[in-house]
DNA sequence: GGTGAAAAAAAATTTTC
DNA sequence: GAAAATTTTTTTTCACC
C-alpha cells in the first residue's frame, strides 16, 4: 500500500468504471502495472467490491431512519434474524451499550416506517430518529481522503 | 425503471466494473442498448456514482463507532462544520430527536477514539457505541434486492 | 427503444529490458 | 517490477427497424 495504491483507490472511489488506461495516465504508469495493482488490492481484500452509489429518493424511498433497537429478554437472536430479513434495513450493526442494534432503514413514507417497526414491536423496544439531512455524505474514511 | 433496469442495478452493485457486453448477455440485450440505459440511469440521478466497497480493517482502521452528538446551546453550526472536517467521520446525519447528529466513525484504536472525541468534547455531549459486528452488511436497500 | 455490423478504443498477453 | 508490442475483447458509432 504505497502512495500509488492510495491514489488508485481515490480515483476508483470517484469512478469505479475508469479504464486501466485512464488510471495509468493519472498516476503515470503503464496499464499492465495498474492491472496488477488492482488485482493485488482485491486479493488482499482491500477492495471488497466495485459497487454503486444509488439515489434512494429517485427510486421511491425518500426517507431514511436510524433506529436503535433493544430486544426484550431472550429475543436477541430472533430480532437479529428478523432485521436481516427486512429488506428496508440497509445496514445494521450490533453495538455496545444499552441499545443492542443500530439500523439504517430506507422508507417510502411515515406510514411505511410504522409497517416496518410493527414487525419487531413485540420483540424489542425501539427508538427512531428521522434523518433530516446528510451532514457528511458517506465517504471512504480517512485512508482515501487523507 | 423497468425490470431490466432493476436487473442492471443488481448486477452492477455486485460488480460495477462489469463490461457492457457481459451485462448485455446477462439481461439478453445488445451492448448499445445497455450503454444507453446506463447513461439514462446516470442522467436521471438513479446511479449517483460507480464506487468502491473498501475494507477499513485491511487499511489499519479495525474499529467502527457510532456516535450520537448533542451540541451545547449555540454550538450546532460549529459542531456541524467540525464533523465535516474530521476525516475519521465517514458518514454523519442530522436527525430528529434529542441527539442532533449521528456519526459513523472509523478508528485505529480506542486511543484514537479519544483523540477524535476530544475535538468536539467542549462543544457537544456525545454518546458512543462501539460496533461489535455487522448484522446487516450495507446493502443497496429494497429497490435492488427485492 | 431496440438490433447488427464496422470502426475505434481498451484490455490482456507475451516479450523484453 | 515495469515498458512495449501484439492479439483479443470491448465500446462506440451509425444505418436501420
In tens, the pLDDT along A70-97 reads: 999 999 999 999 999 999 999 999 999 9
Average pLDDT over residues A107-118: 97
Alpha helices in chain B (DSSP H): 3-14, 20-27, 31-43, 76-85, 110-118, 142-145
pLDDT at A140: 81
Of A15, A66, A136, the CB nearest to B89: A136
CATH 3.40.50.80 fits A57-130, yes or no: no
Low-confidence residues of chain B: pLDDT under 70: 145-146
Distance CA B55, CA B58 (A): 5
Identify all chain A residues contacting B91, using CB atoms and an 8 Å cutoff.
134, 136-139
Asked whether B72 and B125 are in contact (CB, 8 A), the reply is yes
Distance C3 C1' – B111 CA (angstroms): 61
pLDDT at B146: 56
pLDDT of residue A39 exceeding 80, the answer is yes
Asked whether A139 and A145 are in contact (CB, 8 A), the reply is yes
Identify all chain A residues contacting B48, using CB atoms and an 8 Å cutoff.
52-55
Outline which parts of chain B fall under CATH 3.30.70.920. 57-130
Q: Which of A12, A13, A54, A94 to mutate to test the interface with B (most CBs of B within 10 A)?
A: A54
Distance CA A33, CA A35 (A): 5
pLDDT confidence bin for A146, thresholds 50/70/90: low
Alpha helices in B64-146 (DSSP H): 76-85, 110-118, 142-145
- CB–CB of B95 and A146 under 8 A? no
Chain D bases near protein Cβ (<7 Å): 1-5, 9-15
Distance C15 C1' – A25 CA (angstroms): 23
User: Does residue A28 belong to the interface with chain B, where contact is any CB pair within 8 Å?
Assistant: no
Closest nucleotide relative to residue B36's CA, C1' based = C1
Distance CA B45, CA B47 (A): 5
pLDDT of residue A106 exceeding 70, the answer is yes
Chain C bases near protein Cβ (<7 Å): 1-5, 10-14
Cβ–Cβ contacts within 10 Å for residue A124, how many? 22
Asked whether A26 and A7 are in contact (CB, 8 A), the reply is yes
Average per-residue pLDDT for chain A:
93
Distance D15 C1' – B6 CA (angstroms): 30
Asked whether B53 and A93 are in contact (CB, 8 A), the reply is no
Distance CA B55, CA A143 (A): 10
Chain B residue with CA closest to A79: the answer is B135
Tell me the backbone φ, ψ of residue B38, rounded to 5 degrees.
-60, -40
pLDDT of residue A67 exceeding 80, the answer is yes
CATH number, span B3-43:
1.10.10.10
- Residue A73 C-alpha cell reads as 429478554
Distance CA A46, CA A54 (A): 22
Statement: the CB of A57 is under 7 Å from strand D: no
Chain B residue with CA closest to A140: the answer is B90
pLDDT at A59: 92
Outline which parts of chain A fall under CATH 1.10.10.10. 3-43
Instruction: Give contacts of B 104-133 with A, CB under 8 A.
Output: 106, 127, 129-133
pLDDT at B93: 98
pLDDT of residue A99 exceeding 90, the answer is no
CA distances to A44, B46, B66 from B90, in Å:
22, 22, 10
The protein residue nearest nucleotide D3, judged by CA to C1', is A30
pLDDT digits (tens, 9 = 90+) for A45-61: 999 999 999 999 999 99
pTM of the predicted structure, to 2 decimals: 0.92
Amino acid at each position: 500500500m504505497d502512495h500509488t495504491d492510495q491514489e488508485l483507490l481515490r480515483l476508483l472511489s470517484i469512478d469505479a468504471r475508469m479504464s486501466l488506461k485512464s488510471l495509468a495516465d493519472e498516476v503515470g504508469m503503464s496499464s499492465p502495472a495498474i492491472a496488477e495493482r488492482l488485482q493485488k488490492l482485491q486479493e488482499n481484500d482491500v477492495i471488497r467490491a466495485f459497487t454503486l452509489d444509488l439515489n434512494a429518493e429517485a427510486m421511491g424511498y425518500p426517507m431514511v431512519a436510524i433506529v436503535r433497537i433493544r430486544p426484550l429478554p431472550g429475543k436477541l437472536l430472533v430480532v437479529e434474524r428478523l432485521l436481516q430479513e427486512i429488506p428496508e434495513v440497509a445496514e445494521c450493526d450490533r453495538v455496545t451499550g444499552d441499545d443492542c442494534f443500530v439500523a439504517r432503514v430506507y422508507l417510502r413514507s411515515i406510514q411505511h416506517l410504522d409497517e416496518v417497526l410493527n414487525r419487531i414491536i413485540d420483540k424489542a423496544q425501539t427508538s427512531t430518529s428521522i434523518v433530516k439531512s446528510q451532514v457528511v455524505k458517506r465517504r471512504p474514511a480517512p485512508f482515501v481522503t487523507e
